[in-house]
Amino acid sequence: MNVTPYRIILCDGTACINSGARALATALREQLERHGLTEQVTIGLSGCLGMCDKGPILVVNPGYTIYGRVTEKDIPEIVQEHLVKGQPIARLAIQEDHLYNRFFRVFGDAKFFGKQMRITLRNCGIIDPENIDDYLSLRGYEALAKAVGEMTPEQVVAEVEKSGLRGRGGAGFPTGRKWKLTAAEKATPKYVICNADEGDPGAFMDRSAIEGDPHTVVEGMAIGAYAIGASQGFIYIRAEYPLAIRRIRRAIDDARAHGLLGQNILGSNFSFDIEIRLGAGAFVCGEETALIHSVEGARGMPRPRPPYPAVAGLYGQPTVINNVETWANIPVIILDGANWFRTVGTETSKGTKVFALAGKVVNTGLIEVPMGTTLREIIYDVGGGIPSGKCFKSVQTGGPSGGCLPEQYLDTPIDYESLVKAGSIMGSGGMIVIDEDSCMVDVARFFLEFTQDESCGKCTPCREGTKRMLEILTRITDGKGQPGDIEKLERLGGMIRKSSLCGLGQSAPNPVLSTIKNFRPEYEEHIHEKKCRAKVCKSLLHYEIIEKCVGCGACRRVCPVGAITGAAKSRHTIDQDKCVRCGLCFNTCKFEAIAKA
Amino acid sequence: MPTPLELIRKKRAEAVGRIIGKGYLSTKRVYVGMATCEIAAGSKDVMDVFQKAVSRGLTDVYLSQKGCAGRCNLEPTVEVIEAGKSPVKYGRVDRERAQQIIDRHLKNGEIIQEWVID
């Protein structure tokens, strides 16, 4: 018997599990055995596929046939008819052309991808981003057409509000409410802005989203402009992203050529166009008021709020400013509906979140998962765990403004509130996994060095406070920490948090305060015992040559300061006074004869 | 006067027509990752190999670039999609692997398992 190799994917989301998905797997295995198909048919599990009301969901590939409300007694029929005879069963198949998770059709059968659910990145990696035809063929700009053709601006705002979408830039302000406030303003003109000034170290969500599917952002902005009554939009993107800039520019030009931007879009009374503004790479320009100043041509510095941009934003006019990821959700909300969107996520946080998963994890990458997914699922199921058998130590979320969470928080479901409760923040989506080889004091120092460097200098707490904190941290990692330093850091951090002008300063102490809270013994060891348990802080470690030394002389030749001596074929020694702890000898030795202590 | 939705559906149909005109219905569709990260990992070389093969007469293949799928540590990635078969995703493709994908998979239908992302 010649059978196509099939792959069956069972939705392993909570709703499907509750409606009996796991029993299906058992039934399926039995039937496959009965038909002798265990070789040709493989079974995989996916994360929530977003069809919770039709669960349990079972997908048969190739062909991407989706079966819904599958029961155990349907299994023999699926195996007999579909897998053996190659006849999909119309009675059970779900015929839906939803926008969300299109990505799954190509990538869903691979473990790393199948555990994800993609709304904003739905087209990333499956279409040519520089060809508007590819986007149009996947119902591109249909959401815009639906909005301008069949909905009033108020209905669009209401739909977004009902969806529960919250700003993906970090603070999580309800997008619908922001739109409603701006729409209610009488002053004209109004503006919409896309914040693509991604500056967190190690974050690349916005870049990838724009490079992979620029039209989604353009369409989302056009819908937002229609909703609030704006006719001009700006995309603020950093000049360090040349390819993303080229693709978004191309997308705007192509959309204009198709009458999807410009005067009387799709024959309606709505006119809207987008301009690009390049940022020079200042981190503070990701803060909305600083960004607005920068678009205006002024120096990128924040100002106190209120008034919020919804009232007085760009050129003093009502302005909606949203992040790339937020805009990319809009077409899906309009076409697949707020009611559907609300089914994904947690009570307070709806939809999905994109993360740039990096650091000490097997599968580094760009991921999108439903809100409510736990940190453990992200790191171990999607990320594949920690490489080279090392132990997990901490996960850092929210970039330089976020906190470091230890193992006991791994079961925290990702949403805006739970992360804050655990002592970190959602941020824009950086996620760095840290293993036992990293020193938490050093990690905190690294992030603070970044924010201190990027502080714009306008307000004293941020300008001076971060500088002083950095001095203390540097002193601790240099082995010169003093009793009382931890308390000083806590006091300073608390003050900076409370009294800084903008989000940069208010969140800058987070990495320090969260590492003190969760890894206090490491700080204490640095200060009192002059010891760095991860053996990272150079001033606190020394190198020794142990018995394994065969006297080959490789370390002696590589030492830049001549600190190593010894005769050929006999054990060498390191002069600790001369040693600068560069680690070259450690890396050079082939006999593991040099020990870090 | 057609409604916006009618207009966009017409545009969609035209777009599909243009894509088919470019050979979308070829037996095999090949997507090469061309985001900044993929390019940094060497995908321009990979694209070059496929483009040369097409210009030298490799037929029945629709070649396209694509954005980042998110699998950073296995880039550059290439997908081979064929109607009626599960999409094949290759990782860490370089010039050599690209040539092998052309010779073994595109021309002979052999899936090179050891490079498949699963």
- CATH code of the domain covering residue B96: 3.40.30.10
| A positions 30-89 inside 8 Å of B (CB) | 61-63
Q: Which of B3, B4, B68 sits opposite A211 (nearest CB)?
A: B68
Tell me, yes or no, whether B94 lies in a domain.
yes
Q: Please, are residues A93 and A80 in contact by the beta-carbon 8 Å criterion?
A: no
Residues A30 and A87 in one domain: yes
| A positions 144-203 inside 8 Å of B (CB) | 144-146, 148-150
CB contact under 8 A, B118 and A134: no
3-class SS of residue A438: coil
Tell me, yes or no, whether B52 lies in a domain.
yes
Tell me, yes or no, whether A124 lies in a domain.
no
Residues A394 and A463 in one domain: no
CATH number at residue A560: 3.30.70.20
Integer angstrom CA distances of residue A540 from A519, A528, A573:
18, 12, 19
Interval A16-51: pLDDT, tens: 999 999 999 999 999 999 999 988 898 988 988 989
Beta-strand pair B28-33/B61-66: parallel
Q: Is B25 on the interface with A (CB under 8 A)?
A: no
- Count up the domains in chain A and report the number: 5
3-class SS of residue A67: strand
- β partners of residue A78: none
Report the chain A residue with the minimal C-alpha distance to residue B81. Answer: A106
Residues A315 and A360 in one domain: no
Tell me, yes or no, whether B16 lies in a domain.
no
Nearest to B101 by CA among B90, B117, B85: B90
Residues A358 and A453 in one domain: no
Integer angstrom CA distances of residue B95 from A164, A373, B76, B81, B117:
47, 38, 11, 20, 18
Q: Is A139 on the interface with B (CB under 8 A)?
A: yes
The per-residue pLDDT for A3 is 52
Write down which residue in A340, A361, A394 finishes a domain.
A340
Contact residues, chain A, for B67 at CB < 8 Å:
123-125, 127, 129, 208, 211-213
Can you tell me which residue has the tokens 């765990």? Answer: A385
CB contact under 8 A, B11 and A128: no
Residues A326 and A419 in one domain: no
Beta-strand pair A430-435/A564-565: unpaired
Q: Please, are residues A211 and A310 in contact by the beta-carbon 8 Å criterion?
A: no
- Count up the domains in chain B and report the number: 1
Contact residues, chain B, for A363 at CB < 8 Å:
71, 73
CA angle A295/A238/B31 to nearest 5° reads: 135
| Tokens representing residue A409 in the block | 């928080």
- Residues 6+ positions from B103 with CB-CB distance below 8 Å: none
Q: Which of A136, A266, A367 sits opposite B70 (nearest CB)?
A: A367
Integer angstrom CA distances of residue A532 from A405, A508, A540, A542, B118:
19, 24, 6, 11, 39
| Tokens representing residue A201 in the block | 């170290």
Residues A161 and A290 in one domain: yes
Q: Which of A134, A139, A365 sits opposite B70 (nearest CB)?
A: A365
CATH number at residue A417: 3.10.20.600
Residues A232 and A195 in one domain: yes
Q: Which of A129, A133, A150 sits opposite B5 (nearest CB)?
A: A150
Tell me, yes or no, whether A290 lies in a domain.
yes
Q: Is B21 on the interface with A (CB under 8 A)?
A: no
Contact residues, chain A, for B68 at CB < 8 Å:
124-125, 208, 211-212, 366
Task: Return the beta strands (E) in A107-231 as ranges.
Answer: 191-196
Report the chain A residue with the minimal C-alpha distance to residue B10. Answer: A136
Tell me, yes or no, whether A45 lies in a domain.
yes
In angstroms, rounded to a whole number, what is the distance separating the alpha carbons of residues A256 and B10? 17
Q: Is B44 on the interface with A (CB under 8 A)?
A: no
Boundaries of domain holding A31: 6-96
Tell me, yes or no, whether A119 lies in a domain.
no
CB contact under 8 A, A62 and B85: yes
Tell me, yes or no, whether A126 lies in a domain.
no
Tell me, yes or no, whether A535 lies in a domain.
no
Integer angstrom CA distances of residue A254 from A130, A486, B34:
9, 56, 19
Report the chain A residue with the minimal C-alpha distance to residue B89. Answer: A107
In angstroms, rounded to a whole number, what is the distance separating the alpha carbons of residues A369 and A115? 8
Residues A516 and A383 in one domain: no
Nearest to B66 by CA among A244, A242, A124, A241: A124
The per-residue pLDDT for B85 is 86
> Which residues in chain B land under pLDDT 70?
none
Asked if the peptide bond before residue B76 counts as cis, ω within 30 degrees of 0, the response is: yes
- A 10 A CB-CB count for A215 gives 28
Tell me, yes or no, whether A369 lies in a domain.
yes
* Residue pLDDT tens, chain A, 597 long: 445 688 899 998 888 999 999 999 999 999 999 999 988 898 988 988 989 889 899 999 888 899 999 999 999 999 999 999 989 999 999 988 899 998 888 898 888 888 899 999 999 999 999 999 999 999 999 999 999 999 999 999 999 999 999 999 888 999 999 999 999 999 999 999 999 999 888 889 999 999 999 999 999 999 999 999 999 999 999 999 999 999 999 999 999 999 999 999 999 999 999 999 999 989 999 999 999 999 999 999 999 999 999 999 999 999 999 999 999 999 999 999 999 999 999 999 999 999 999 999 999 999 999 999 999 999 999 999 999 999 999 999 998 999 999 999 999 999 999 999 998 999 889 999 999 999 999 999 999 999 999 999 999 999 999 999 999 999 999 999 999 999 999 999 999 999 999 999 999 999 999 999 999 999 999 999 999 999 999 889 889 999 999 999 999 999 999 999 999 999 999 999 999 989 999 999 999 999 988
Write down which residue in A377, A409, A435 finishes a domain.
A435
CA angle A316/A281/A510 to nearest 5° reads: 90
- A 10 A CB-CB count for A408 gives 9
Tell me, yes or no, whether A113 lies in a domain.
no
Q: Which of B4, B19, B64 sits opposite A148 (nearest CB)?
A: B4
Q: Which of B67, B73, B84 sits opposite A129 (nearest CB)?
A: B67
Interval A237-295: pLDDT, tens: 999 999 999 999 999 999 999 999 999 999 999 999 999 999 998 999 999 999 999 99
CATH number at residue A490: 1.20.1440.230
Instruction: Supply the DSSP symbol for A166.
Output: B
Residues A590 and A566 in one domain: yes
Find how far residue A388's CA is from the centre of its chain: 24
Residues A484 and A592 in one domain: no
- Probe site for chain B from A43, A83, A106 (most B CB atoms < 10 A): A106
Residues A375 and A495 in one domain: no
Write down which residue in A317, A340, A363 finishes a domain.
A340
Residues A551 and A591 in one domain: yes
Find how far residue A534's CA is from the centre of its chain: 27
Find how far residue A506's CA is from the centre of its chain: 21
Report the chain A residue with the minimal C-alpha distance to residue B24. Answer: A134
The per-residue pLDDT for B72 is 86
In angstroms, rounded to a whole number, what is the distance separating the alpha carbons of residues B79 and B89? 4
Phi and psi at A112, nearest 5°, equal -55, -40
Range A376-382, long-range pairs (CB < 8 A, 24+ positions): A376/A410, A376/A411, A377/A115, A378/A414, A378/A431, A379/A410, A379/A433, A381/A115, A382/A112, A382/A115, A382/A116, A382/A357
Boundaries of domain holding B48: 24-115
| A positions 308-367 inside 8 Å of B (CB) | 358, 362-367
The amino acid present at B73, given as its one-letter code, is N
Interface predicted TM-score (ipTM): 0.96
In angstroms, rounded to a whole number, what is the distance separating the alpha carbons of residues A209 and A220? 13
The amino acid present at B5, given as its one-letter code, is L
